[in-house]
């Protein structure tokens, strides 16, 4: 087990370096010059721009900048924002809690509602309940997130006036409900379908039949035998989901005016704040790598047949 983890961690290093380098290169290939833009449309002095760039290390060759960035990163230094002069880590630390709150909220909705509906569909496979669920999930998958966001905004805020169209204070659970539901939508549909397929399949399996034959109460069969086995693919999906939800927040946060990481990344991209974009993406990549490792380890817990040397 320990050796397996060590090997996986080693494999992560090139992947991490590669992903960040890729984004880094793309960001520095961006047209437009953020330092120049600071000067507005008014007159500016090229010498002064050169000074500012030298201070920020933006005048170095690309590989050198990347090296500086990487070494900084290992010391916990995410770099400095060009325009505001604030450390990127501070900017991220300001926005991250909000996004984590939003993401966890979504995640909870996905897990609770998704698995519940999936189980319902699986246990009643090929009945009308199942069919209704199928149509429901297909619709959810088909509607792009931003469309769903605007439709919800239109109905719940403008028409029904249950909620304000945008979030006024980003750390209020109540106000985050609408964005959390929208963010959850697509994944929720996948989890429902995944659970449904898996449950329906396992329901026909030998071990369930054996358990039923043994005379175990149905609740125990479903709760222990069926669920435990059916949740393996769901867990895989959910594991990698957390990072993806963070990325999906770009759209949702924009629609609902949530001051989170998604907004930060969109603004930074528009303002060509390279260090900030790379910082956030690195964070998401790390999160993704970590969750995929945890998921693989969880396998061993859920499925005793899998053993890691």
Partner 1 sequence: MRAARSMKWAATAAAIAVAATACGSGDNSDSDENKPDGYVSIFHGEPQRALLPSNTNESFGGYVVENVFSTLVDYNEKGKLQNANAESVETDDSKTWTIKLKKGWKFHNGEDVTAESYVKAWNWYANVKNNQSNSAWFEQIKGYEDVHPEKGDPKKDEMEGLKVVDDHTFTVELSERVSYFNYMLGYSTFAPVPEAFYKDPKAFGQKPIGNGPYKFEKWNHNKLIQVAAWDGYKGSDKPKNKGIQFKNYSTIEGAYQDVLSGNLDAADQVGPKDRPKRKQDFGNRSIDKPYAGNTTIAPAFYAKPFKDVDPKVIQGLSMAIDRDTITKTVLDGTAVPAKSFVPANVEGFEALDTDVLSYNPKKAKQLIKEGGGVPGNKIWIQFNADGGHKEWITSVCDSIRKAAGVECLADSKPSFETDLKERDADNVKGTYRAGWLGDYPLNINFLRDLYRTGADANYGRFSDKEVDGLFKDGDKAADLDAAVKDYQKAEDKLLQEMPAIPLWDMTASIVHSEHVKNVKANWDGHILLRDVIAK
Partner 2 sequence: MPEPALTKERRDDPAAGAALTEAAPKPEKARSLWQDAWRNLRSNPLFLISAVLILVLLTMVAFPGLFADGSPRDGDQAAHYLTEPNLGHLFANDWLGYDAHGRSVYVRVIHGARASVIAGIAVTLVVAVFGTIVGMLAGYFGGWLDSLLSRITDIFFGIPFLLGAMVVLTAVGERSLWMVITALAILGWTQVARVARGSVLTVKQSDYVQAAKALGASTWRILMRHVLPNAIAPVIVVATVALGGYIGAEATLSYLGLGLAEPAVSWGVDIDAGKDQLRNAPHVLLFPALMVSLTVLAFIMLGDAVRSALDPKSR
- Give the number of C-alpha atoms closer than 13 A to the C-alpha of residue 231, restricted to the C-beta side: 22
164 binds, among partner 2, partner 1, none (CB under 5 to 8 A by kind): partner 1
Q: H-helix or E-strand containing 185?
A: helix 173-203
Structure tokens at 255: 């629609």
Task: Please give the backbone phi and psi of residue 87, each rounded to the nearest 5 degrees, phi first.
Answer: -65, 140
83 touches partner 1 by CB under 8 A? yes
- Report how far residue 192's alpha carbon sits from residue 198's, in angstroms, rounded to the nearest whole number: 10
Per-residue interface string for the shown chain with partner 1, residues 207-236, x marking contact by CB under 8 A:
-----------xx--xx-------------
Q: Which of 96, 109, 148, 191 binds partner 1 (CB under 8 A)?
A: 109
Strand partners, 80: 87
Residues 249-288 that bind partner 1 (CB under 8 A): 254, 257, 259, 263, 267, 270-272
How many CB atoms lie under 10 A from the CB of residue 285?
A: 19
Stretch that binds partner 1, among 4-12, 14-22, 34-42, 240-248 (CB under 8 A): 34-42
214 binds, among partner 1, partner 2, none (CB under 5 to 8 A by kind): none
| Contact call for residues 116 and 129 (beta carbons, < 8 A) | no
Q: Which of 11, 71, 142, 169 binds partner 1 (CB under 8 A)?
A: 169
51 touches partner 1 by CB under 8 A? yes
Q: What is the DSSP string of 60-106?
A: S-HHHHHHHHHHHHHTT---B-TTT--BHHHHHHHHHHHHHHHHHHH
- Report how far residue 175's alpha carbon sits from residue 136's, in angstroms, rounded to the nearest whole number: 25
139 binds, among partner 1, partner 2, none (CB under 5 to 8 A by kind): partner 2
- Report how far residue 113's alpha carbon sits from residue 15's, in angstroms, rounded to the nearest whole number: 34
Which CB atom, from 17 or from 54, has the smaller least distance to partner 1?
A: 54
Name the site residues for partner 2 (rule: CB under 8 A).
4, 11, 14-16, 18-19, 22-23, 26-27, 29-32, 138-139, 141-147, 150-151, 153-154, 158, 186-187, 190, 193-194, 197, 201, 233, 236-237, 239-241, 243-248, 250-251, 254, 265-266, 269-270, 272, 277, 281, 284-285, 288-289, 292, 295-296, 299, 306, 308-309
The Cα diameter of the chain in Å comes to 85
Q: What angle do CA 270, 273, 274 make, to 5 degrees?
A: 115
- Report how far residue 267's alpha carbon sits from residue 254's, in angstroms, rounded to the nearest whole number: 10
Structure-token match 């320990």, residue found: 2
- Report how far residue 295's alpha carbon sits from residue 309's, in angstroms, rounded to the nearest whole number: 16
Q: Which of 68, 89, 164, 240 binds partner 1 (CB under 8 A)?
A: 164
Q: Site residues (CB under 8 A) for partner 1?
A: 30-34, 36-45, 47-48, 51-52, 55, 83-86, 90-91, 94-95, 109, 112-113, 116-117, 119-120, 123-124, 156, 162-169, 171-175, 177-178, 181, 218-219, 222-223, 254, 257, 259, 263, 267, 270-272
């Amino acid at each position: 087990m320990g050796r397996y983890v060590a090997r996986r961690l080693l494999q992560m290093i090139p992947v991490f370096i590669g992903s960040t380098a890729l984004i880094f290169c793309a960001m520095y290939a961006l047209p437009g010059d953020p330092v120049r833009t600071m000067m507005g449309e008014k007159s500016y002095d090229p010498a002064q721009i050169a000074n500012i760039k030298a201070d920020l290390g933006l005048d170095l060759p690309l590989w050198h900048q990347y090296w500086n960035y990487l070494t900084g990163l290992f010391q916990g230094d995410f770099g400095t924002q060009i325009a505001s002069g604030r450390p990127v880590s501070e900017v991220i630390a300001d926005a991250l809690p909000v996004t984590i709150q939003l993401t966890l909220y979504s995640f909870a909705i996905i897990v609770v509602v998704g698995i519940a509906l999936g189980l319902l569909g699986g246990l009643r496979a090929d009945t009308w309940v199942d069919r209704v669920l199928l149509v429901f999930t297909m619709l959810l998958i088909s509607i792009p997130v931003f469309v769903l966001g605007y439709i919800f905004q239109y109905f719940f805020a403008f028409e029904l006036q249950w909620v304000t169209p945008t979030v006024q204070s980003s750390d209020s659970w109540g106000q985050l409900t609408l964005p959390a539901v929208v963010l959850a939508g697509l994944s929720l549909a996948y989890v429902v379908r995944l659970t449904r397929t898996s449950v329906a399949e396992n329901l026909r399996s030998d071990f369930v039949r054996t358990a039923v034959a043994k005379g175990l109460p149905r609740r125990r069969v479903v709760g222990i035998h069926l669920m435990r086995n059916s949740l393996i693919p769901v867990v895989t999906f959910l594991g990698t989901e957390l990072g993806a939800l963070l990325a999906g927040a770009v759209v949702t946060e924009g629609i609902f005016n949530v001051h989170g990481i998604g907004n930060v990344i969109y603004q930074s991209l528009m303002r060509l704040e390279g260090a900030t974009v790379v910082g956030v993406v690195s964070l998401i990549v790390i999160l993704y790598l970590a969750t995929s490792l945890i998921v693989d380890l969880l396998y061993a817990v859920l499925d005793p047949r899998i053993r890691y040397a």
